[in-house]
Structure 1
């Protein structure tokens, strides 16, 4: 039976839409990839306990951990407590600390499960950040917690550092100090200001070329402490330029949710590994595509992954920092949570036409795992909007 529902469009009309896609089946056991693939995972709110969602959102820990098991079962590593988990946009350091603790403990119950944890400086209030030492101490606190819990850190870009740094040398000072102290190798984090406007001018310059020189200097000064760097600038040319200039043994992780398919595939000389928020939303498809790539089936990889790219570009369209709403919307449609609410009420950051577009593109990309449930839930959301 063909599933049909009425969906709004940007031109103000409402028309019938008939689903055409089909679910991607889950593998019987976690597959092995020839790329390192981190899925940045979201958190699930608990609306029954959420009395102050803006400043103290309640988290459904059981549903949040169940989603991590879903990702591990598909072969992914998890990038925990990153911006996809609404760090600095609904989830504060106290919430992130509990998320990290629980996820690390949960990973020990799953053979082969792996994760890296976001460590930043988001416990610092703007008025409390005066000098570089404030930033250094904040990083020390968070990375120290991750490592004390037995985890590895992703050294997240710091709003506080962007506020107080006056030159590229200030970035070299802070990163050099922190990397000299870490027990484990870390992944660095280059997040563009389209993801977070407060990171404008990061690395001491608004010029990509100058910022790149600073990043490379930091990496070369600390090669024995850097596993790799995640770059999220939504510009494949810039990522390729970074990738070809990294020292041997330092990995490039694409965070480009517009161009990930071609960057992961790479060319005859180089490719990118992945640390992506979109993998949260399209996990079965991404898993299947990466399995094909590991077997050398390049065309099959493209056939599966490329239909997800228009969907990702819609989810991550400007203002890009609100992409989390689309990710959680798909988790709800696919039955990974019972509601469509988010920390800080972030579900309201996008409008109903945006969600209708995501629904269409998810169907066309074979990303709706349970089409009947997704249709039922989409209809219920439309009713809330009076449609």
Structure 2
């Protein structure tokens, strides 16, 4: 059987038959002409009875195996980022262990590379009383990453968003941290659709004012900034940032709605990538990026464009719960043995959302092991009340 019963948005049911074809895997990691970071998820361990909200058990073997899967497809890894449920299930002690393990494994894999999220999430925003509190928190995390031999992605800070009174406060904090780093850092502009507590980041809810502020921070510290990841889900805003970056400072798209066109570029400028969706569509993204490196735009577009509707569904509002769709696909594709997440976050989306993801993943050729995906999706749907006996 290659079909299953899926619910529709109008409450009816349909017999859905698989049509997709799995993307072939490269024999060796391909070469890209864009820097491509895949932000990777963590795999929970449901058989260990720890606090799932504050101290979740992690299946380290499966978590690290997924990193090796991404490296084999040519990606760098953006480690311990929001895709790994930082601030939504994975606390700083777990992130430290994740960073240690990933850096250790990367040293054993030819060509493997990663950068690691460093923020202030061990400081509760309500406990932050001053900019000095935020600086100390950043110093601890950036210091840990660099002390382990890694490079830092300076994550947006809920605590800073809470205590900052002006754009100058952001300039002060970022200047202090960037002035201390050993290596160049990637900055992180995460919109409030990903985290409502980041509203007004860079000191303003007005995009143009925020853009001026972040550009002034980059210009003042350009010898310490490799680039900036921007995740606002509006391609015009990313292009505006990209066009004004100083020479040598890279733009990394974090736009999970418009990444295909932003990576391809406009013939003059293009974006590199630091994307959570690459976790879910890694074989497709790898094939597309390898084709782009060979100036084969037809293959690039033909492979990557079908993944965009899937990504837009996974990242639909409330966007911060996109991790559930990412992990669903990891389970359907056999990268983990269960569909559970730290903090029980698999419950953040409903059966209609998951049914739409299944359809779109099939149409985008993202289901790597169709028979396994069919079997597992049937079991999930049955658990959620959609009878599969037909």
Normalising by structure 1, report the TM-score.
0.99
Distance 1:44 1:191 in 2: 23
Distance 2:125 2:209 in 1: 26
Distance 2:83 2:267 in 1: 32
Counterpart of 1:63 in structure 2 is: 62
Distance 1:185 1:284 in 2: 29
Deviates more, 1:172-181 or 1:125-134: 125-134
Mapping 1:352-371, distance limit 5 Å: 352-371=351-370
Is contact 2:23–2:283 with CA below 8 Å preserved after alignment?
yes
Is contact 2:37–2:275 with CA below 8 Å preserved after alignment?
yes
Shift of 1:300: 1.0
SS at match of 1:367: coil
Shift of 1:127: 3.3
Is contact 2:120–2:141 with CA below 8 Å preserved after alignment?
yes
Counterpart of 1:160 in structure 2 is: 159
Is contact 2:189–2:228 with CA below 8 Å preserved after alignment?
yes
Counterpart of 1:325 in structure 2 is: 324
Structure 2: unaligned runs, 5 residues or longer: none
Counterpart of 1:81 in structure 2 is: 80
Mapping 1:138-217, distance limit 5 Å: 138-217=137-216
CA RMSD of aligned residues (A): 0.6
Cα-to-partner distance string for 1:108-151 (whole Å, 9 max, x where unaligned): 11001000000000010233200000000000000000000000
Counterpart of 1:122 in structure 2 is: 121
Counterpart of 2:385 in structure 1 is: 386
Shift of 1:248: 0.1
Equivalenced residue count is 386
Counterpart of 1:45 in structure 2 is: 44
Cα-to-partner distance string for 1:327-352 (whole Å, 9 max, x where unaligned): 00000000000000000000000000
Shift of 1:56: 1.2
Shift of 1:158: 0.2
| 2:317 is the counterpart of 1:334 | no
SS at match of 1:383: helix
Counterpart of 2:345 in structure 1 is: 346
Normalising by structure 2, report the TM-score.
0.98
Counterpart of 2:275 in structure 1 is: 276
Distance 1:44 1:86 in 2: 10
Is contact 2:126–2:159 with CA below 8 Å preserved after alignment?
no
SS at match of 1:340: coil
Counterpart of 1:248 in structure 2 is: 247
Distance 1:360 1:322 in 2: 19
Deviates more, 1:366-375 or 1:127-136: 127-136
Distance 1:386 1:12 in 2: 12
Mapping 1:279-298, distance limit 5 Å: 279-298=278-297
